Amino acid sequence: MASTTHIASQTLSIGDMTSTATITLSGERLALNIVAAQVGSEESLVCLIVRDANNVNLKTVKVIGSDTQRLVMDSGDLLGNTTLSVWIECLAGSATVQLVELTGSEGVLPGSGSTIELDDLAADFFAASAAGRGKFATDLFDDATLDDVVEDDAFTAAVVTAKFDDDSLTAANMADIIADDGFTAAVVTAKFADDSLTATNLADILEDDAITAAVASAKIDAAAITEDLRDGEPIVLADPGDGNTITPATSGTEICTIDVGTAAETRVMGTPDHVGQRLVLVGGTFGGGSLTITMAAGWKDGGAADDVATITAGDVMIAEACGAADTDWRCAVSNGVAFA
């Protein structure tokens, strides 16, 4: 440690002061260490005083008891002075004091307000001596040590193999993770295919077995959807053709327009699905033939059980399902339709 002693070690009692020492500056910074060792049981108090050539106080620092204090002065404190006078005064108790200036490569980090010895800093980080010491020197980060961290001994093929290759990330082991042994058809099958995502299992998720009418009813409440459909627009039923049954859907109202050719034709009226359902039959285009419709069981026309209706072009009949024990059709409105 480079230093210059300005006040040699001496013991002061209350009211005593050392001789004045003169410091001639060689730079724009000054770092002083005042060392005090209390003598006796009474707590000591000593004060270091720095004055300029005109005897004006520039800076002071106090030391209580046994301690070391650092006084740091930069260009803002020195005010251009190159010659300073310093002394130590004892204000209480008794203490052995000494004043040392830190010189050479020891200095102050600019603007830090604290002194850091550059020799110590270099020794701690960059190997100040041949042997080196500290954080980035021979004993910690020399070639051999660096090898252990980032070079031959740490990342040779052998070491990499030990850490990342043969024992853990070889082709075989990689295969266990992402390649042949990990994602072969067999493994994928085990994880995602036959045992879990076959057509059968997929069906359990989103196909036939999963979204059948029964499953949909259980999961989505088919009855509620049916009620919503009943409240929507009427459903148009296709004319099933001569001799076939007009099968009502499950909505609220269905309309079927029947066209007839040149010969006589027949239709059968299917049974209703639910109470309140409506079926509208309309005579469409007739080419000269006639049309008779056989009503479903339980049909009534104004209380009569007439179960055959004759419809011509332009005729309209509205049947509505009702009943207590059984759901049967009743004629709600007819225009031009004849019943027998």
Chain segment 228-267, per-residue pLDDT in tens: 455 567 888 999 999 999 988 777 788 999 999 999 999 9
Confidence of residue 186 (pLDDT cuts 50, 70, 90): low
Confidence of residue 287 (pLDDT cuts 50, 70, 90): very high
- Other beta carbons within 10 angstroms of residue 71's beta carbon come to 20
* DSSP code, position 259: E
**Geometric angle at alpha carbon 272, from 325 and 318, rounded to 5°:** 115
Q: How far apart are CA 251 and CA 238, in angstroms?
A: 15
74 DSSP assignment? -
For strands 244-246 and 265-269, give the pairing: parallel
Q: What does each C-alpha distance from 66 to 15, 37, 42, 90, 102 come to in angstroms?
A: 18, 4, 11, 13, 20
Chain segment 98-156, per-residue pLDDT in tens:
999 886 544 444 434 444 455 555 555 554 444 444 444 444 555 555 555 554 444 55
Residue 216 tokens read as: 């949909």
**Greater pLDDT, 190 or 113:** 190
Across the range 272-282, mean pLDDT stands at: 88
Answer yes or no: is pLDDT of 31 > 50. Answer: yes
Residue 195 has pLDDT above 60, yes or no: no
Q: How far, rounded to the nearest angstrom, does the alpha carbon of residue 40 sit from its chain's CA centroid? A: 66
Report DSSP state, residue 116: E
Count Cα atoms within 13 angstroms, Cβ side, for 160.
7
Q: Which region among 9-13, 30-34, 114-118, 197-201 has the lowest average model confidence (pLDDT)?
A: 114-118
* Helix/strand/coil for 321: strand
| Structural domains of the chain ordered from first start | 3-113 (2.60.120.380), 231-339 (2.60.120)
Q: CA geometry: angle at 82 spanning 80 and 85, to 5°? A: 115
CA distance 32 to 25: 12
The mean per-residue pLDDT over the stretch 46-57 comes to 93
Q: pLDDT of 290-334, one tens digit each?
A: 999 988 777 877 666 668 889 999 999 888 888 766 778 888 888
Bridging pattern class, strands 3-13 and 338-339? unpaired
302-314 as b/e, with b when 16 or more CB fall inside 10 Å? Answer: eeeeebebebeee
Please give the pLDDT value at position 128: 44
Res. 193 pLDDT band, cuts 50 70 90: very low
133/125 Cα distance (integer angstroms): 8
Higher pLDDT, 195 or 332: 332
Q: What is the mean pLDDT of residues 50-67?
A: 93
